[in-house]
Every structure is written in structure tokens, then in C-alpha cells.
């Protein structure tokens, strides 16, 4: 095919310089690059790299199960994975595990939802208004030093032995974790952003909604994740309060009979439920804070 050189002289492919640059997009390791890939700088093999963490998670789980099985085989007083799976199948077959999961999940969700619903506005008020901070912060710090489990006797005396004290203890654990994180998020908002908004004529409400809330959202969601972990950690102790159903109750009842497989079923169930809920919050965080740089 005939082409023109820089001087406008017609040349043929055979006459073209051997080291002439090729304007076509170079092929990548994952296959030939398309024009759209070159236009947006996308590497076709990036989807393969995104699957690496998932594969590593699977490998980690398998290694953990193998270590557990090895320790049980070496004589440590642990049930083997098949024994735990068999006990879980038995509890699922008679409906016990489903009822326990539903009871525990209801308590955790109720306490966690109430805790975060109260913690977020109080945290915003503490961070935005100095008067509110001076009035509320000493009490928040005071109750942070008291483990929620230590409140159980008082909760029983004041609220009886129904669902209220169980939910209250979980509420307190979630509240204390989330309120501090929300407060810290408001305090750490860059003053330059607030001053710039004021210069542009924004009032306090606009600054709060358009600047403070978005900048604090990452802190709030981290606090919610910590609060969720605290809620699940408090569940077992909360179900000491005259519970008849629940994963914590089932584990404590199994302890009386040295029923290790049932205890492991409860532990694994709590871990799986907590992990799923944490991943939901993590996905929400990524959706709401897509503007934030991540490693």
C-alpha cells in the first residue's frame, strides 16, 4: 500500500523505515487491546486481578479448616468439622437452629438500629455545637469506660427479664461505638471547606448538609461497623437474661452438657451472620463514598 513520507513523497510498505512507530494499540497480556480500551485506559486483565482477593479469601478459609481439623486429630479437645456439620444438620432438621438465628438476629438488628439511629444525630450535635459537646461528652466518655455487660444487673432490675433488657444492652454497645466515630468525623471536617462555603454565601444548614455530612460519612460508616461488631459481641451475654431461644442461649445451655459441636455451631453461625452484615455495610460505604481515594 502506498503511503506518504514527511516530505509528501509516495512510498510503499517495503520502503517504510523498519523502526517506524506503530500507532495501533499494543496488545496486552490479557489479549489484544481494543480502541475503547485504549481510549479509557482500561486494562482487559484488570477483572482477573479483582478476583485475586476472593481467591485468597477462599484459600484462607480452607487453610483455617485444615488447621482446625489437624488440631482435633492431634488430640486437642475440639470437635472435627464433620461432627460440627452433622450437629448443624441435626439442629436445622428439627428447626432449632432457624429459631435461634431468628431470635438472635432480631435482637441484634433492633439494638443496632436503635443505637445508630440515636448515635448519629447526637454525634453530629456534639461535633457541630460546642455547648452540646460540653454537656454530653462527659457522659459518653463515662459510659464508655463501663462494659455493657456490667449494665445487665441494672437492666434486669429496671426492665425485667423480657426482651427489653437484652435489646437495651446491645443498643448501648452499638451506640457508644457509633457516637464517638460520628463526633470525630464532624470535628475532623476540613475547616477550609467550611470557610470556602461561607465565602460563597452558604448558610449553616447548607454547609451542614452539603459539606459536613458528606465529609463525615466515612467516619459514620466505620463507627457503624465497629458498633455492629460490639452488638454481636454483647449478644451472648445479653441472652443470659432469661432467654429461651437464641444462639447465645443455645451455646450456654450446651456448655452445661459439654456439647462442643453445638457450641461450635453457635460460634460459626454468629461469625457468618456478623461477616455478612459487615460486608453489607462495607458495600454501602463504597457506594456512598465513591469519591474517596482507596488503596
Residue 276: pLDDT band (50, 70, 90) is very high
On whether residue 55 sits in a domain, the answer given is no
On whether residue 125 sits in a domain, the answer given is yes
Q: What three-state secondary structure class fits 9? A: coil
Q: Which domain holds residue 105?
A: 95-288
Residue 290: pLDDT band (50, 70, 90) is low
| Residue 16 scores a pLDDT above 70 | no
Residue 175: pLDDT band (50, 70, 90) is very high
Residue 119: pLDDT band (50, 70, 90) is very high
On whether residue 116 sits in a domain, the answer given is yes
On whether residue 184 sits in a domain, the answer given is yes
**CATH of residue 116:** 1.10.3720.10
pLDDT digits (tens, 9 = 90+) for 238-263: 887 777 888 988 988 888 888 899 99
On whether residue 44 sits in a domain, the answer given is no
List the helix and strand counts (H, then E) for the chain: 13, 2
| Total domains, the chain | 1
On whether residue 136 sits in a domain, the answer given is yes
On whether residue 189 sits in a domain, the answer given is yes
Average pLDDT, the chain: 80
CA angle at residue 236 from 101 to 117, to 5 degrees? 80
Q: What's the CA gap between 91 and 94, in Å, rounded?
A: 6
Q: What's the CA gap between 137 and 118, in Å, rounded?
A: 14
* Total-model pTM: 0.73
pLDDT digits (tens, 9 = 90+) for 147-169: 877 888 888 888 888 888 889 99
On whether residue 13 sits in a domain, the answer given is no
Higher pLDDT, 52 or 16: 52
| Residue 188 scores a pLDDT above 50 | yes
Amino acid at each position: 500500500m502506498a503511503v506518504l513520507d514527511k516530505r509528501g513523497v509516495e512510498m510503499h510498505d517495503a520502503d517504510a523505515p523498519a523502526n517506524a512507530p506503530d500507532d495501533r494499540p499494543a496488545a496486552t497480556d490479557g489479549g489484544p487491546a481494543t480502541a475503547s480500551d485504549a481510549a479509557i485506559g482500561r486494562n482487559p486483565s484488570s477483572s482477573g486481578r479483582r478476583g485475586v482477593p476472593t481467591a485468597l479469601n477462599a484459600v484462607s478459609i480452607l487453610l483455617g479448616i485444615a488447621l482446625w481439623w489437624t488440631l482435633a486429630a492431634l488430640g486437642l479437645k475440639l470437635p472435627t468439622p464433620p461432627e460440627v456439620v452433622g450437629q448443624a444438620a441435626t439442629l436445622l432438621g428439627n428447626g432449632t437452629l432457624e429459631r435461634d438465628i431468628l431470635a438472635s438476629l432480631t435482637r441484634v438488628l433492633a439494638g443496632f438500629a436503635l443505637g445508630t439511629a440515636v448515635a448519629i444525630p447526637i454525634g453530629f450535635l456534639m461535633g457541630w455545637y460546642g455547648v452540646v459537646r460540653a454537656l454530653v461528652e462527659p457522659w459518653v466518655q463515662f459510659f464508655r469506660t463501663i462494659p455493657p455487660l456490667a449494665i445487665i444487673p441494672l437492666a434486669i432490675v429496671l426492665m425485667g427479664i423480657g426482651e427489653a433488657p437484652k435489646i437495651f444492652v446491645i443498643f448501648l454497645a452499638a451506640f457508644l461505638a457509633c457516637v464517638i466515630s460520628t463526633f470525630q468525623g464532624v470535628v475532623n471536617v476540613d475547616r477550609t471547606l467550611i470557610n470556602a462555603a461561607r465565602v460563597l454565601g452558604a448558610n449553616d444548614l447548607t454547609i451542614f448538609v452539603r459539606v459536613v455530612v458528606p465529609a463525615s460519612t466515612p467516619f459514620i460508616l466505620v463507627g457503624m461497623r465497629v458498633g455492629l461488631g460490639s452488638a454481636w459481641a454483647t449478644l451472648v451475654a445479653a441472652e443470659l437474661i432469661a432467654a429461651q431461644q437464641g444462639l447465645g442461649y443455645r451455646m450456654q445451655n450446651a456448655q452445661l452438657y459439654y456439647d462442643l459441636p453445638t457450641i461450635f455451631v453457635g460460634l460459626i453461625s454468629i461469625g457468618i451472620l456478623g461477616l455478612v452484615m459487615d460486608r453489607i455495610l462495607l458495600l454501602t460505604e463504597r457506594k456512598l463514598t465513591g469519591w474517596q481515594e482507596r488503596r
